[in-house]
Amino acid sequence: MALDSKVPQGPIADKWTNYKNHIDLVNPANKRNIDVIVVGTGLAGGSAAATLAELGYNVKAFAYQDSPRRAHSIAAQGGINAAKNYQGDGDSTYRLFYDTVKGGDYRAREANVYRLAEVSANIIDQCVAQGVPFARDYGGLLDNRSFGGVLVSRTFYAKGQTGQQLLLGAYSAMNRQIGRGKIKMYNRHEMMDVVLVDGKARGIITRNLVTGEVERHSAHAVVIASGGYGNVFFLSTNAMGSNVSASWKIHKKGAYFANPCYTQIHPTCIPVSGDHQSKLTLMSESLRNDGRIWVPAKLEDAQAIREGKKKPTDLSEAERDYYLERRYPAFGNLVPRDVASRAAKERCDAGFGVNATGEAVYLDFADAIKRYGREQALIHGDNNPTAEKIDKLGKELVKAKYGNLFQMYDKIVDEDPYNTPMMIYPAVHYTMGGTWVDYNLMTTIPGCYCIGEANFSDHGANRLGASALMQGLADGYFVLPYTIGDYLSDDIRTGAIPTDSPEFEEAEKSVKDQINFFVNNKGTKSVDHFHKRLGKIMWNKVGMARNAQGLTEAMSEIKALREEFWKDVKVPGSADTYNEELAKAGRVADFLELGELFAKDALVREESCGGHFREESAETEGPQKGEAKRNDADFAFVSAWEYTGEPGDAVLHKEQLEFNDIELKTRSYK
């Protein structure tokens, strides 16, 4: 099948408006006869479910958690971008569009990104009307902060819990519709497969995680909003239950999977403390505004620190290597996420890591405390403050800015970051890749849509901070509800989709077969055992820096691991009760397939772009030596993979990216 992105004609600024003016609509009376399934209740799914229900469709929403409010969007800390230009600092739709495309290293589809920037302002209006308590200034107007390497202040926030507040807003909109009976909510339900009737998505098979019952649900369209797949690395900042299964199941039934290798590795996470580690915790990016990142300059010192013979505070300035400031004098500690992450890995690989595992660098606030302390003393009218006073005032200010993060760090690591530098290390955080969708957010399966982090659409090879929340809500509140109408307008006379067709029968059977296989398999190793091993392969060979040899090895290792998994996995308990091991088994089975495609995608993309760094594609000379080298001539395309039976045999389709409104440039942070 040829890929058709269905991007409307016309100037970029008018595309969306013109498009909306011309699509088919479903009249309100007919919407009552149309059912839509939404898998996922995060920002994307929650906002979509609420809006579709409000428009009049019958919505069935699914989440694996016990409440829609617990989707992992809840964990987003920093904020949400919107081109409101409330600060009057020159922001505009175009600038947000431009920043997003550039930040994505020119691997995103222009028209989608423009639309995202265009509807962004509406999101804020919508959320405020819903009662989302965004931060405000003393005049009662909305406050903004600046975020990740852009030149304007356009990030709206609610303390360090923006994702939580936005999700609770979407959840409240859902509650209103649940109360009216327009949304039927299925909590603790996991989507196990999609059902295609006459080539169209017409329903899903789910497993009730409480009773174990396998159920059939039909609808006229299916929307997947199941979030990111970072857990393929086992350790990530995602939730324990985050999975690729919903996306992977539709992939296996015909939806192309785009750019699986584009993964964002966030530089400021709390390092792994041991083998028992189950997940990683993000420390907000904002810390890099004030913290200085360093490792010891001498290998002996690094070793002494690892062995506990020296403390970081023992090292003098000259004995420290502020490597970001050294390598990137212009941006210093504020280089983009991918650059900061790779630099940390480079130092640790060279033996300068500072915790017992050798995989940590320091994020030091001592200078910030001194600087702020002096400033504060002056403000208090003390021109000659003592060192103690500076220290005290400085710590107070740092506490006001980052108190909750410092406390979180202290609880996890048991060290006081006011007095000793924090230890941080990069961790898998976000997946830009995902199900391929056209301008309508429809996958290559007719009637099957994909929104939020689960699709690939807007962030190219790298996502800017605070724009995932924006995308999720844009997709759910403002884009999908329009575009889906165009498709559903053909279904007004279809009537309810029966669930007793052979297609449902067959899909249900294959789901049950897999479940029965797991509970009956006489294996010896736990699901986590395989998941952890997969994570190690992914991290070591498909992680922050990749090369052809490692990727080839990863592909065959993952394939072998998958075979071993199917022979030797042990799932205790039965199929007809609450059984978390069984749920995990299904998810890990899919990760074991995705992992291989992921490595294959990385192997095919012989360039470095955004979060994808190929060691073979680095600048070899000049001031940019060692930095990532993009190859626009050969790789300015989206890789859309078609499933053909084995992940390693997937067929590549290319969607060529055209840049008419933005000029392609090399990113430089030197």
Closer to ligand FAD by Cβ: residue 43 or 117: 43
The DSSP symbol for 461 reads T
Residue type at position 28: P
The reply to whether 41 sits near ligand FAD by the rule CB under 6 A is yes
Is 337 considered catalytic here?
yes
Question: 2-8: long-range contacts at Cβ-Cβ below 8 A with a sequence spacing of 24 or more?
Answer: 2/653, 3/256, 3/436, 3/444, 3/640, 3/653, 3/654, 3/655, 4/438, 5/109, 5/111, 5/438, 5/439, 5/655, 6/438, 6/439, 6/440, 7/109, 7/111, 7/112, 7/438, 7/439, 8/111, 8/439
- Which residues in 269-288 contact ligand FAD (CB under 6 A)? 282
Q: Which parts of 482-586 are beta strand (E)? A: none
Name residue, tokens 């190690």: 536
Closer to other proteins by Cβ: residue 130 or 499: 130
Q: Binder to ligand FAD among 26, 44, 96, 354 (CB under 6 A)?
A: 44
- Which residues in 73-132 contact ligand FAD (CB under 6 A)? 73, 75-80
The reply to whether 418 sits near ligand FAD by the rule CB under 6 A is no
The reply to whether 466 sits near ligand FAD by the rule CB under 6 A is yes
The reply to whether 454 sits near ligand FAD by the rule CB under 6 A is yes
488, burial (CB in 10 Å: exposed 0-12, middle 13-18, buried 19+): buried
Residue closest to ligand FAD, measured at CB: 42
Cross-sheet strand order for the sheet of 200-208: 189-197, 200-208, 214-218
- Please provide residue 174's backbone torsions phi and psi, each rounded to the nearest 5 degrees: -65, -45
Name residue, tokens 């307008």: 489
Which member of 337, 587, 614, 630 is catalytic?
337
The reply to whether 45 sits near ligand FAD by the rule CB under 6 A is yes
Closest separation in Å from C-beta 127 to other proteins: 8
Q: Which does 273 bind (CB under 5 to 8 A by kind): other proteins, ligand FAD, none?
A: other proteins
Q: Which does 62 bind (CB under 5 to 8 A by kind): other proteins, ligand FAD, none?
A: ligand FAD
The reply to whether 518 sits near ligand FAD by the rule CB under 6 A is no
Q: Which does 480 bind (CB under 5 to 8 A by kind): other proteins, ligand FAD, none?
A: none
Q: Binder to ligand FAD among 312, 433, 452, 485 (CB under 6 A)?
A: 452
Closest separation in Å from C-beta 190 to ligand FAD: 4
Closer to ligand FAD by Cβ: residue 33 or 47: 47
Q: Which does 28 bind (CB under 5 to 8 A by kind): other proteins, ligand FAD, none?
A: none
The reply to whether 467 sits near ligand FAD by the rule CB under 6 A is yes
Closer to ligand FAD by Cβ: residue 285 or 627: 285
Question: Angle at the Cα of 374 (from 369 to 377), degrees rounded to 5?
Answer: 120
- How many residues comprise the chain? 670
Give, in order, the Cα–Cα distances in Å from 622 to each of 184, 514, 625, 627, 667: 60, 55, 6, 10, 15
- Which residues in 157-216 contact ligand FAD (CB under 6 A)? 162-163, 190-191
Q: Which does 122 bind (CB under 5 to 8 A by kind): other proteins, ligand FAD, none?
A: other proteins
Rounded to whole angstroms, the Cα distance separating 84 from 90 reads: 10
Closest separation in Å from C-beta 577 to ligand FAD: 18
The reply to whether 348 sits near ligand FAD by the rule CB under 6 A is no
The reply to whether 43 sits near ligand FAD by the rule CB under 6 A is yes
Q: Which does 586 bind (CB under 5 to 8 A by kind): other proteins, ligand FAD, none?
A: none
Residues facing residue 546 across a β-bridge: 614
Burial 608-620 (b: 16+ CB within 10 A, else e): bbbbbbbeebeee
CB 523 within 8 A of CB 557: no
The reply to whether 40 sits near ligand FAD by the rule CB under 6 A is yes
Closest separation in Å from C-beta 58 to other proteins: 17
- Please provide residue 109's backbone torsions phi and psi, each rounded to the nearest 5 degrees: -85, 120
The secondary structure element, H or E, covering residue 643 is: none
Rounded to whole angstroms, the Cα distance separating 71 from 134 reads: 20
Catalytic residues: 337
In the complex, the residues that contact ligand FAD under the rule CB under 6 A are 39-45, 62-65, 71-73, 75-80, 162-163, 190-191, 225-228, 237-238, 242-243, 245-246, 282, 429-430, 452-454, 465-469, 472
